[in-house]
Amino acid sequence: EDQVTQSPEALRLQEGESSSLNCSYTVSGLRGLFWYRQDPGKGPEFLFTLYSAGEEKEKERLKATLTKKESFLHITAPKPEDSATYLCAVQGSTGNQFYFGTGTSLTVIP
Amino acid sequence: ETGVTQTPRHLVMGMTNKKSLKCEQHLGHNAMYWYKQSAKKPLELMFVYNFKEQTENNSVPSRFSPECPNSSHLFLHLHTLQPEDSALYLCASSQGAGGNSPLHFGNGTRLTVT
Point out the least confidently predicted range of A19-23, A102-106, B94-98: B94-98
CB pairs under 8 A between A and B: 56
Using the Cβ of B60 and the Cβ atoms of chain A, whether some distance falls under 8 Å is answered with no
Closest partner CB to A102 (pick from B42, B102, B107):
B42
Cα(A61)–Cα(B89) distance, rounded to whole angstroms? 30
pLDDT of A95 reads 65
Does residue A77 have a pLDDT over 90?
Answer: yes
Residues A45, A37 contacting (CB under 8 angstroms): yes
Q: What is the pLDDT confidence band of residue B52, given thresholds at 50, 70 and 90? A: confident
Cα(A99)–Cα(A89) distance, rounded to whole angstroms? 5
Q: What is the pLDDT confidence band of residue A4, given thresholds at 50, 70 and 90? A: very high
What is the average pLDDT across A97-102? 92
Contact B108 A43 (CB under 8 A): yes
Nearest CA in chain B to A103: B42
Interface test with A, best of B100, B107, B111, B112 (most A CBs within 10 A): B100
What HEC string does A8-68 produce? CCEEEEECCCCEEEEEEEECCCCCEEEEEEECCCCCCEEEEEECCCCCEEEECCEEEEECC
Interface test with A, best of B105, B109, B110 (most A CBs within 10 A): B105
Nearest CA in chain B to A44: B105
Contact B105 A45 (CB under 8 A): yes
